[in-house]
Chain A
Amino acid sequence: MGERKYRINWGETIIPGLALAFGMAFFFQTRDAPPTVMYWPLIAASLTALLGILIFFRFIVVKTEEPVSTAPKGIETRMREAKKMGVVFLGATAYLASLSYLGFSICNFLFMLAVCHGLGGRKWVHNVFVALGVTVFLHLILIVLMKMNLPRLDLGWLMI
């Protein structure tokens, strides 16, 4: 039997940490607010803080023999999964960053193509076919049918 020690479960700190950061930013932003409009946020923040403290002692600082681990999978599997999650996240971020410059439809096509390949779609013909199909479908539904004001690339003779 190993010695039972208090250890910190770092994964569990993310959500309470985000809540703490948000709370601090919120009250910093509203430092000049009239007191009457801050009663309710104070109630909500107090409740969050109280429950956060309870979570700290119940889930974050835990007494165990082994270092706290929440992922039972192997390191290789985790890395592979993390890589694919990264593809989705980076793909979505790049998509948003380029939307204003390239327009909705071109971004859709490139995003589909890149993410399909990044997630393991090795056959380019299939990827192009699916990307084109989805792009045309979304263009017809959102821009032509629903007349949404999505960013479009103006080629002079054509808006896509």
Chain B
Amino acid sequence: MEFPGMDVMLSGLYLLAQPTVLMWLALGMMIGLVVGGIPGFNDTNFLAMTLPFTVYLGSTNAVIFMMACFCSSQAAGSFPAILLNIPGTPSNATTCLEGFKMTREGRAGQAMGISIISSTVGGLLGAVFALALTPVVGVYALNFGPAEMFMLAVFGMSAVGSLTGKSVMKGLFSSALGLLLACVGTEFQKGYTRAPFGFYQLFEGFSLIAVLLGVFGFAELFSLAGEESLVKKGRRNFTGYGSIFEGMRDALKYWGNMIRSGFIGIVVGIIPGTGAAIATWISYGQAKQWSKNPEKFGTGCVEGLVASDACNNGVPGGALIPTVTLGIPGSGTTLIVMAAMMINGVTPGPSFFNEHATEAYAILFSLVAANLLLLPLGIGAARVATNVTTVPNHFLVPIICLFCLAGGFAWQQQLFDMYLVIIFGIVGAIMSRYGYSVPAFLLSLLLGSLAEKNFIWAVEIGGVSSFLRPIALGTLLATIAVLILPVILKFGRRSRG
């Protein structure tokens, strides 16, 4: 097996240094800082809206733009959490616990400083790990045949299904439903078109972009419409740049906690279906266990805030590893990143590092660059981000709605997809309301045809025994473990009272 050489890495770095690529990186960072700062409207929703337009960017620019947006929005999600006690993204719930308490004590600037430096360090750790691990995983991933790929798809769907819904049963049901919907359209064996319901637009199945825009962007509108404003109450007591730097110094005293939390983010990010929300709770709990003053947690504790934000930004690097090398997205956002690659004719997976080594390294280096840029941009954005949260919903809702509908049209330029956005928006809103897993549903819709193809090939080529090869069997065992994990966690929580 041959690992990509230094010359390929350098050509990746050279590609990243191109002015156009750097422009998309910087733009992604700036947009991410704004989007992450808007409560309830996370980076996944925003990236879903921009997805159709990435076809005009090319795969490398599109992925770099999206990853930059992902990194900075993860960091910026902490801003409203600290200042207004409203998490910008679900993963910022732990930030609220400590950050808002600090704000109430008049230490808002300090909390912002802690958040920015922790996010930067966590993000850099994640980027370095991705840079080091991704090519290795990619080379070994070449051993994957149809049986292994099928098992991986099943693992991804089961993991996301069992860990992201309000109940395992509903999460798995969402996965199965997505799989059933993926059956619509022309199948690969005989070219038979399954159930187009009289619409030629469904000959190639449901448009992934229309479904994405519907279940993420449009569905969100129904909850936003009911509110007067994104921010109902809370107060801002930002006290200037001096306190930001003071917070940074305080955070660096807990460098061990910062590194451990970043590492937790990376590991959890690698596991498909987990995401930053789960990672930050694990990290927060770990920090409390290791702390000399655990009683201070929940009262505006620096250690808690460091653990939460370092972990939060470690996740993108970890999540990128399975997305790029195995074609299994580690989170909802990387699912959209993967979709952007596929739209641009690049299929992430085992052969990605062989076929697109330069682009792959450019993407990985962009993650490092994005996290380095995060520090100055984050400090600057801290002052302005909160103003965006005051835009009244009666303006914000129709604007988001128009972007969703126009985005639905943009990909295949057909009005039919705009109707799909509305239909799946309603379905997505109902799914969210009753605790079904939207990411699981989408992942199955995305991986459905891949799973079908590889299942049929594996059975035809090697028979059932091909599923018993080491990697396939290992993945099957991992799938079983992932299905059992929530049950064990539930019993664990019960026994602890």
Tell me the complex Cα distance, A112–B400, Å. Answer: 11
Q: Does A160 contact B (CB under 8 A)?
A: no
With A22-B180, A119-B397 already in contact, the answer to whether A15 and B436 are too (CB < 8 A) is yes
The residue that B169 contacts in the complex, of A29, A45, A58, A134, with Cβ under 8 A, is A58
Which of B386-436 touch A at CB < 8 Å? Answer: 392-395, 397-399, 401-402, 405-406, 409-410, 413, 415, 418-419, 422, 426-427, 430-431, 433-434, 436
Contact A45 B180 (CB under 8 A): yes
CB pairs A–B below 8 angstroms (27 shown): A15-B177, A23-B180, A26-B184, A26-B195, A33-B192, A36-B189, A37-B190, A37-B192, A38-B194, A39-B456, A40-B187, A41-B183, A44-B179, A44-B182, A48-B179, A55-B170, A59-B169, A70-B434, A88-B222, A88-B225, A93-B422, A96-B419, A99-B418, A112-B399, A115-B394, A119-B397, A142-B410
Residue numbers in B under 8 Å from A19 (CB-CB)? 173, 177, 180
Contact B183 A92 (CB under 8 A): no
Residue numbers in B under 8 Å from A51 (CB-CB)? 169, 172-173, 176
Interface string of A37-57 (1 = CB under 8 A from B): 111110011011001101100
Question: Closest Cβ of chain B: how far from A69's Cβ, in Å?
Answer: 13
Contact B422 A44 (CB under 8 A): no
Q: Does A67 contact B (CB under 8 A)?
A: no
Contact A100 B180 (CB under 8 A): no
With A29-B197, A88-B221, A96-B418 already in contact, the answer to whether A115 and B401 are too (CB < 8 A) is yes
Q: Does B361 contact A (CB under 8 A)?
A: no
Interface string of A116-145 (1 = CB under 8 A from B): 111111000000001000100010001000
Q: Does A91 contact B (CB under 8 A)?
A: yes
Which B-chain residue is minimally distant from A38 (CB atoms)? B194
With A19-B177, A142-B410 already in contact, the answer to whether A25 and B53 are too (CB < 8 A) is no
Which of B171-220 touch A at CB < 8 Å? Answer: 172-173, 176-177, 179-184, 187, 189-190, 192, 194-197, 218
Interface string of A1-26 (1 = CB under 8 A from B): 00000000001101110110011011
Residue numbers in A under 8 Å from B228 (CB-CB)? 120
Question: Closest Cβ of chain B: how far from A37's Cβ, in Å?
Answer: 5
Residue numbers in A under 8 Å from B406 (CB-CB)? 104, 138, 142, 150
Tell me the complex Cα distance, A120–B422, Å. Answer: 22
Residue from A41, A55, A149 with most neighbouring chain B CB atoms (10 Å)? A41
Which of B142-161 touch A at CB < 8 Å? Answer: none
Contact B398 A111 (CB under 8 A): yes
Binding site for B on A (CB under 8 A): 11-12, 14-16, 18-19, 22-23, 25-26, 29-30, 33-34, 36-41, 44-45, 47-48, 51-52, 54-55, 58-59, 70, 80-81, 84-85, 87-89, 91-93, 95-96, 99-100, 104, 108, 111-112, 115-121, 130, 134, 138, 142, 146, 148-151
Contact A48 B402 (CB under 8 A): no
Contact A29 B194 (CB under 8 A): yes
Tell me the complex Cα distance, A28–B225, Å. Answer: 38
Which B-chain residue is minimally distant from A93 (CB atoms)? B422
Contact A121 B394 (CB under 8 A): yes
With A84-B225, A138-B406 already in contact, the answer to whether A37 and B181 are too (CB < 8 A) is no
The residue that A81 contacts in the complex, of B189, B226, B405, B418, with Cβ under 8 A, is B226
Contact B394 A48 (CB under 8 A): no
Tell me the complex Cα distance, A134–B398, Å. Answer: 10
Residue numbers in A under 8 Å from B218 (CB-CB)? 92
Residue numbers in A under 8 Å from B250 (CB-CB)? none
Contact B194 A119 (CB under 8 A): no
Since A15-B177, A119-B398 are in contact, a sample of 4 more A-B pairs with Cβ atoms closer than 8 Å, ordered by chain A residue number, is A19-B177, A89-B422, A112-B399, A118-B394
Q: Does B246 contact A (CB under 8 A)?
A: no
The residue that A146 contacts in the complex, of B53, B169, B436, with Cβ under 8 A, is B53
Chain A facing B: main interface SS? helix
Residue numbers in A under 8 Å from B192 (CB-CB)? 33-34, 37
Contact B397 A88 (CB under 8 A): yes
Contact A85 B225 (CB under 8 A): yes
Residue numbers in A under 8 Å from B392 (CB-CB)? 120-121
Listed from nearest, the 10 A-B pairs whose CB atoms lie closest are A81-B226, A119-B394, A29-B195, A115-B398, A121-B394, A48-B176, A51-B173, A84-B225, A41-B183, A44-B179
The residue that A44 contacts in the complex, of B176, B187, B393, with Cβ under 8 A, is B176
Contact B169 A87 (CB under 8 A): no
Residue numbers in B under 8 Å from A138 (CB-CB)? 402, 406
Contact A134 B195 (CB under 8 A): no
Which A-chain residue is minimally distant from B448 (CB atoms)? A44
Contact A96 B415 (CB under 8 A): yes
Q: Does B290 contact A (CB under 8 A)?
A: no
Residue numbers in B under 8 Å from A91 (CB-CB)? 398, 401
Contact B173 A26 (CB under 8 A): no
Tell me the complex Cα distance, A91–B431, Å. Answer: 22
With A11-B434, A88-B221 already in contact, the answer to whether A112 and B197 are too (CB < 8 A) is no
Which A-chain residue is minimally distant from B180 (CB atoms)? A44
Which B-chain residue is minimally distant from A130 (CB atoms)? B395
With A41-B180, A44-B183, A48-B177 already in contact, the answer to whether A146 and B56 are too (CB < 8 A) is yes
Question: Closest Cβ of chain B: how far from A21's Cβ, in Å?
Answer: 12
Residue numbers in B under 8 Å from A33 (CB-CB)? 192, 194
Tell me the complex Cα distance, A118–B393, Å. Answer: 11
Which B-chain residue is minimally distant from A95 (CB atoms)? B405
Question: Closest Cβ of chain A: how far from B66's Cβ, in Å?
Answer: 18
Question: Closest Cβ of chain B: how far from A139's Cβ, in Å?
Answer: 11
Which A-chain residue is minimally distant from B181 (CB atoms)? A22
Question: Closest Cβ of chain B: how far from A34's Cβ, in Å?
Answer: 6
Residue from B395, B406, B452 with most neighbouring chain A CB atoms (10 Å)? B395
Residue numbers in B under 8 Å from A119 (CB-CB)? 225, 393-394, 397-398
Which A-chain residue is minimally distant from B391 (CB atoms)? A130
Tell me the complex Cα distance, A30–B196, Å. Answer: 9
The residue that B405 contacts in the complex, of A29, A54, A92, with Cβ under 8 A, is A92
